[in-house]
Structure 1
Amino acid sequence: MPPRRSLREQLRAAVSSPIDRVVFKATDNTAARPKQKHVEHLIHLSYHEHFDAQEYVAILRRRYEAPTSTGLTMAKALALTHSLMNNSSQYIAKMLLRDLREILVPLVDMYAVVAERFFQQPKMRAQKLLVLYKRFSSVCTRADGFLEACTRAQLLAGSGNMAQLAAVGN
């Protein structure tokens, strides 16, 4: 059973910004993709004049650094970001691409930890880790293709971040 959210996390989500609440609800610890209503609400908020991509990245960082955060939370955060980039304004997509490295680094770290611990586990636990690895690998493959498409489309042209984006995609 996935860890439950702490009371502190629940209270923070209740009194925080609309973006924080949507991210909190969309990145729960269930083994399902983020609910479409949460994704659509976040996309709607991204068109609002007060949406700040850096605030969104900071919210995601707090979410996956929480004690109850799991690999599923991280993968959902990446899927949510991918949906937001595909469906929001070009300005928001550029801002998120610029800060995407902050989101991907913890995911890659988790990937390395899972791979390292796989061979140290009993058979049943290793099988569960293998399922997590397959889910994570498919998310990263889709994200890698997305980053490559953005590089080809030159979404960040002129911003000086193309080398960083290429490094993240590789």
Structure 2
Amino acid sequence: MQIIMKILLLICSCAARALGQFHKYGIHMDVKGINFITIKGQESWRKMHLCKIIDFNSSFITDNEEIEVEKRAVIGTGLYMPPEIRNQLNNDYITLTQKVDIYAFGVTIYKFLFSPHAELRNLYPETLNYFSGRLEKLAQACLQHDPDYRPTIETVICFLAKECNEL
């Protein structure tokens, strides 16, 4: 089991760095495991250091921390949609921040840990309280209902690299 957790940590670290690169330019809006790819030639999981984020159909390019978009422009994958977006679906315009990607990153970690088919409809960060590993703590932080309590991608990268212990 420990080798699996090491592999998952490497995958999540690689994915976080890819998302961090994209966050310099915008909000992805469709963060999920299938939208991260590793580079051919990384034959060993131990050598995994580079992956890329793909599928920019839902993305918004912006240098603002917060943008307002028409509701019809907001797409992505429903299970990965954070509460603040769901709460705005009756509005004509929706406010987006990079924290929507952080929530989706938390869902991605949750699915890596438990199952790609894990039930997420009633997901609450408290469900991860039973676990004490680094990835569980990260998923719990990323899945906070209030986006102000979610970490930034820089903090996620720091945490996964074990350069900091606080989220």
Alignment TM-score > 0.5, same fold: no
- Which protein is richer in strand relative to its size? 2
Give the TM-score normalised by structure 1: 0.27
Which structure features the higher share of helix residues? Answer: 1
TM-score by structure 2 length? 0.28
Q: Quick check: which has more Rg, 1 or 2?
A: 1
